[in-house]
Structure 1
Amino acid sequence: MSVASHYIDGHWVDAVGGTAVLGDSFNPATGLAAARYADAGLAEGEAAIAAARRAFQYSAWRRSPRLRADVLLRFADRLEARKDEVADWLVTLNGKLRREAVGEILGAASELRYYAGLARNLFGRIAEIEPGCYTSLEREAAGVAAIILPWNAPIILLARSLAPALAAGCTVVVKPAFQTALAQNLALECLVQDERIPAGVVNSVIESGSTVSQLLCTSPEVDVVSFTGSTAVGKRIAQASAGTLKRLSLELGGKSPAVVFADAADERSVAGIVAGSLIQAGQQCTAISRVLIQDSVYTDFTRRLAEAYGAVRVGPGNDPRSQMGCLIDIANRDRIAGLVERASAVGEVLVQGRVPGGELARGAFIEPSMVAVEDLSSDYIQRELFGPLVVVERFRDEDEAIARANATRYSLASSVWTADAARSRRMAARMRFGTVWANTHNKLFAEAETGGHADSGYGRLHGQEGLNDFLETKHFYYELPA
């Protein structure tokens, strides 16, 4: 069985100074062990941080923008060349559809190429303050960056933080999710086989617990933490990092509303909302989890949505007939099933997704569900449920749509569905979300920044601003000799 190892100071290792501890990664579609991973402790975390610090201080990496750009370009090419192999393991360890896995890898390659271009364009500015007196503002790497990642999109989320960190000249310690560590290691191999990268610039440490994560947050040798994951964990990271005042980039939970007006209540919107809510079986922070429908078309549109959700074919990610894969594990499948069972106490269950029988019963499969809820204080509206469970709500006009959409601590993403371009612009201006799409959802790409505020975190990923968390500005002042 394949084993995912740590990568520390230029070497693949299973342990540092002791006996390796191995854990199992499971195929959520079958419930069977599919791979193994080396499980880190304090020694591996300390070694990775020390290697990254040495490389930052003593190698030429942070002063070599052309090398960094070329390394990222070569990384993208090699990742694309191995996309089928990496996609197979993503499907096996994550349970997502194969087309989702391939799309994720191609998106990661695009991200790498985008930041390769920016690596050669890190310009500062110079001003003459008085005659013969000059001030120079220079952009330089922030230092050692820790990148802590979830299991739901391990390749694109790796590239989304790793590419700007390396483009900026930082050295890195990656902490992947143990569930999908082998797939991520295959992607990392495409980077670290480049012999031009100094030892210690890239490190990766896998763990099933939180010892290494805690160390990354508290160590004064780590300058930046970039984390994608749940709001609860993000808040713990912020607390743990406060003692060293390190910079944080936190992309946390989402509760994305899709606001549907009467003039767009058509089959195209039905298809777009179903696709936008069931991406990765709803296990994506930007996935639609609330559908707000204008009162005049509420009854008809909810009926059509219910029919569409009821017709979704659930199945293994490697089956081309499947329209939605499984959840990450049985525990999460049962959690969603329990939420659906209890939903009748707070609203009307319009589609009750069930755990399928037969061979699929062994895996983490569950059909999509849809629940109508009116009470804005309900957990079904306020909590991130992270699965194929969609809440529908009713509104009368733009003002009520805004009031309902914004009635959440989550602010990551949203969408407006209307044929009126002026209305979509008005709504976008009033909706308190980092991203507002019009007549579509989940359009994410390297050139456009994403992020939220409040319980969705802070900082921005993608785009030019994605570099900011990995860069410092240095002020240098000088006077010409008299």
Structure 2
Amino acid sequence: MTTLLSALNLIDGQWQPALAGRTASSINPADGLPIGVLADSGRDDARAAIASAKKAFDTSLWAHSARDRQSVLLQWADRLERRADLAELLMRENGKILAQARGEMAFAISEIRYYAGLARHIPGHFMEVEPGAFSATLREPAGVAGLIIPWNAPIILLVRSLGPALAAGCTVVIKPAAQTAQITAQVLQELAAIDLLPKGVVNLVSETGSEVAQELVSSEDVDVLSFTGSNLTGQRIMAAAAPTMKKLSLELGGKSCCIVFPDTDIEATAARIAAAATIISGQQCTAARRVLVHASCHEEMKRALKSAFESLVVAPGQTPGAHMGPLIDARAAETFDSNVRRAIETCDEVVVRGAHPGGALANGFFRTPTLVAHRDSGAFFCQEEIFGPFVVLEKFEDEKEAVARANHTVYGLSASVWTKDGDRGMRMARALRNGTVWINDHNRMFAEAETGGYRRSGIGRLHGYEGLGDFLETKHIFRSAGVV
């Protein structure tokens, strides 16, 4: 019998249950069976964690010791690198295939080391503004940061906020997604075990509801709020945070377009787009959602995408040769099914009709991909983010129409252009209103390169040097010393 895991809260350096004693189950989405229990916390737990983070910021040397911060981050990366088992736990709790889970852990470790390097390079500047009068600017940690982390890539999306927050000198309260509380707790155990980390600098509070998140958003003692999730939730956070005027970093939804020109290799491109559309079972904000194809190769791409989707192996993450695992939980599967049914009823053509596989997969939240073709880019399924393996195929006649169609959206997170013409690729990339545009690729992320969205896809940038900015304040210091 497999031992159930336990994800506790971390408050003021101590691992502890929720104050009210509530727990909830962690479920393997591949079979619906429990793998552990998590602390199901409330507002009092959140307040205790915020108080702990504020005390650590005000009384420890964490905000002032860049060398200590760098050392802690480097030690954390080293400890995670020795935990090969974490990728398997991520696969079990999240459902993604093992290769993607291993890739996520490797990316996270790389990003921790990147921000460890930046921890000791946060310069200001110094100048003589008048004779004998001097101005200095310092970049200082903003204070207590609240981090609300989603379930789809829980470790890299944790690290891309936690890494710069710690490098900047902030203290933090982390609210993980309930669906991935176990892997989050395990990853943070490796951080909390480092002797050089002052207690209270890192706090973790899990919940199945929203009381903890609401407290992080509304608390006067939380100076920065970093959130990744839906656009609607992002709007609610902005409204609720307005009275405190806290800094916000929001990465919200996306509806990524892949724009395909006839000079590309259609078969090879279709296979790569199918992979980009089904990464994490299509549950990624930058996943390929719309495929815009030049009219001259529309039918060829339709056949190639149909073949690519139908050849994907949908199976539990540890299955050799698996391309795609289950959706995260029953609620996500039900929402996805409802949206797909509505789309199928109104689209011009159903090219591939997805389904819930039976047999050995019947108890999991598996869904095979759906591909539809449609002309009207204003249709709800061309405009709204459908979180799962669902793709719309559209047709365009020239570059101008392709740009107009791709930009016909409230989002602006990412897009890709597929062409052998380098100048065309750059023209298109410049014209698309997206925070990231890939040329002949999709879903490529790097610790060193900033990402983020235009319009309703978010506020601020993550990764890269700009990723530090959300966790820093700029202070001007003036002194008139006179002249000799």
Residue 332 of structure 1, CA deviation: 2.2
Residue 422 of structure 1 pairs with residue 423 of structure 2 = yes
Point out where structure 1 has 5 or more consecutive residues left out of the alignment. Answer: none
How many Å apart are 1:87 and its aligned residue? Answer: 1.1
- Give the C-alpha shift of residue 88 in structure 1: 1.4
CA contact under 8 A between 2:147 and 2:161: conserved in structure 1?
yes
Q: Secondary structure at the match of 2:254?
A: coil
| Aligned 8 A contact 1:340 1:352 in 2 | no
Pairing 1:99–2:99 present: yes
Conservation of the 8 A alpha-carbon contact between 2:266 and 2:300: no
Contact kept, 8 Å, 1:295 with 1:396, in 2: the verdict is: yes
Q: Is the 8 A contact 2:5 2:36 kept in 1?
A: yes
Cα shift readout 1:397-430 (whole Å, capped 9, x = no counterpart): 0000000000001100000000000000000110
Aligned-residue offset at 1:2: 1.4
Matches within 5 A, 1:70-469: 70-82=71-83, 84-342=84-342, 343-469=344-470
CA distance in 2, matches of 1:231, 1:432: 17
Per the TM alignment, residue 157 of structure 1 is displaced from its structure 2 partner at its CA by: 0.5
Q: In the alignment, what sits opposite 1:10?
A: 13
**What code does the residue aligned with 1:399 have?**
K
1:471 partnered with 2:443: no
- After the TM superposition, list the runs of 4 or more consecutive aligned residues in structure 1 that deviate by more than 6 angstroms: none
- 1:331-390 deviation digits (Å, cap 9, x = unpaired): 322333333333142321100011111010110001111011111211110000010000
Q: Does structure 2 retain, via aligned residues, the 8 Å contact 1:293–1:395?
A: yes
State how far apart, in whole Å, the 1-side matches of 2:59 and 2:454 are.
Answer: 37
Give the counterpart letter for 1:6 in structure 2: N
Deviation at 1:32, TM superposition (A): 1.4
Q: Verify the 8 A CA contact 1:149 1:175 in the aligned structure 2.
A: yes
Is the contact made by 2:266 and 2:304 (CA closer than 8 Å) also made in structure 1? Answer: no
Give 1:265 shift. 4.1
- Cα separation, 1, equivalents of 2:150 and 2:41: 16
The offset of 1:101, in angstroms, is: 0.5
Partner secondary structure for residue 473 of structure 2 = strand
For the residue of structure 2 that corresponds to 1:264, the secondary structure is coil
Q: Deviation string for 1:238-283 (max 9, x for gaps)?
A: 1110010000000000100000001014222112101111100000
Q: Output the CA distance in 2 between the equivalents of 1:116 and 1:427.
A: 36
TM-score by length of 2: 0.98
Whether the aligned pair in 2 keeps the contact of 1:265 and 1:297 (CA below 8 Å) is: no
* Structure 2 portions without partners, runs of 5+: none
Distance 1:22 1:57 in 2: 32
Contact 2:131 2:482 in 1 (8 A): no
Structure 1 residue 481: Cα displacement: 4.9
State how far apart, in whole Å, the 2-side matches of 1:247 and 1:330 are: 34
Q: Secondary structure at the match of 2:412?
A: coil
Secondary structure of the corresponding residue to residue 25 of structure 2 = strand
Q: CA deviation at 1:321?
A: 2.1
Between the aligned partners of 1:225 and 1:118, the Cα distance in structure 2 is 21
- Matched letter for residue 3 of structure 1: S
**Letter paired with 2:365:** A
Structure 1 Cα separation of the partners of residues 462 and 142 of structure 2: 16
Alpha-carbon distance in structure 2 between the residues aligned to 1:185 and 1:331: 23
Structure-2 separation of matches of 1:371 and 1:307: 13
Distance 1:229 1:155 in 2: 14
User: Within 2, Cα distance between the matches of 1:272 and 1:311?
Assistant: 13
Q: How many Å separate the matches in 1 of 2:424 and 2:482?
A: 61
Match of 2:42 in 1: 41
Tell me, in whole angstroms, the C-alpha distance in 1 between the residues paired with 2:347 and 2:421.
Answer: 34
3-state DSSP class of the match of 2:425?
helix
Q: TM-score, normalised by structure 1?
A: 0.98
Deviates most, 329-338 or 177-186: 329-338
Asked if 2 retains the 8 angstrom alpha-carbon contact of 1:355 and 1:365, the reply is: yes
CA RMSD of aligned residues (A): 1.0
Cα deviation 1:29-72 (Å, max 9, x = unaligned): 10112211011111110000000001101110000001101111
Partner deviation per Cα, 1:266-309 (whole Å, 9 max, x = no partner): 22211210111110000000000000000000001111110110
